[in-house]
Amino acid sequence: MCLLVLAIGACARWPLVIAANRDEHRQRPTLPLAEWTTDEGATLMSGRDLRAGGTWLGSTAGGRVALLTNVREAVSTTGRLSRGDLPLHWLTGRMDAATFLAQHDPAAYGGCNLVIGDFQRGQWAWASNRASNPSSWQTRLLTPGIYGLSNALLDTPWPKTLALKAAMQTALAQAQSSGDEADLSQPLWAALATRERAPLAELPQTGVPAELEHALSSVHVDIPERDYGTRSSTLMWIDGSTGPEKLQATLWEKTMGGDATRLQWALDA
């Protein structure tokens, strides 16, 4: 996944809202969002990468959530383990963030950002193995607020990250005022589909060619000459309108081909 905005405790009606785009090569084999069971018997809601076997975004019935983005580097390095394994390991486990990260060697993975959370415990954390050096995780506990993440460190002010954060703030305000779910989802879908590229003067300098940097600067990426772009867009939210004992989770994915999958469940206590 290459762009996400996460709102934690920023709205009373919807205490968790996520909007995200996954950018990937068009031919990389992928299964869309579904409820599925791992070999160990854990039930997850996520898409799946069929090449390396991991995922980029997922949740569980109990409210554990994991999100992954790569870090853009001039020379991309591949670790001995797949980055997509990290979300799966979080979703299928029970440990807290500090224990989880201590059990996973950051040097074993390519450059990445990981956001892991447990909604029921109110615990959220960001970690990256490119904030200081590849042999250590830099971490930050996430308190209530709106966070943006692309292919740099948390809240790095890239134009598309700022644009999606602004769209999230506007959508939350409108939906909180109206109480209408459509006032939350429709503006976020529109924001995730935005193809406007950033002005050249505002592009980040990540070491890749300027032409490629510009092509990657839109919220929705489309680079047909590289057979690369936004493969899917995802919204997730938890609705607290019926009280803390009856929280409802929604995970909704729209894919490049126009297919949509919407999963809903009552959050386990």
The domain spans of the chain are 3-266
Give the model's confidence band at 244: pLDDT under 50 very low, under 70 low, under 90 confident, else very high.
confident
pLDDT at 75 over 90: no
Residue range 185-239, pLDDT digits in tens: 999 999 999 999 999 999 999 999 999 999 999 999 999 999 999 999 999 999 9
Give the DSSP letter string of 59-103.
Answer: E-TT-EEEEEEEPP-SS----SS-TTHHHHHHHH----HHHHHHT
Residue range 110-136, pLDDT digits in tens: 999 999 999 999 999 999 999 888 889
User: Tell me, what's the pLDDT at 102?
Assistant: 97
User: Tell me, what's the pLDDT at 243?
Assistant: 79
- CA geometry: angle 206, 212, 218, nearest 5 deg: 90
CATH number for the region 3-266 comes to 3.60.60.10
How many CA atoms lie within 13 Å of 109's alpha carbon, on the beta-carbon side?
Answer: 26
84 contacts 102 by C-beta, under 8 angstroms: no
Q: What mean pLDDT comes out for the span 2-30?
A: 97
User: Tell me, what's the pLDDT at 58?
Assistant: 98
pLDDT at 77 over 90: no
Higher pLDDT, 75 or 160: 160
Query: pTM (2 decimals)?
Result: 0.97
Residue range 133-151, pLDDT digits in tens: 888 999 999 999 999 999 9
Give the model's confidence band at 41: pLDDT under 50 very low, under 70 low, under 90 confident, else very high.
very high
Please tell me the distance from the alpha carbon of residue 165 to that of residue 145, in angstroms, as a whole number. Answer: 11
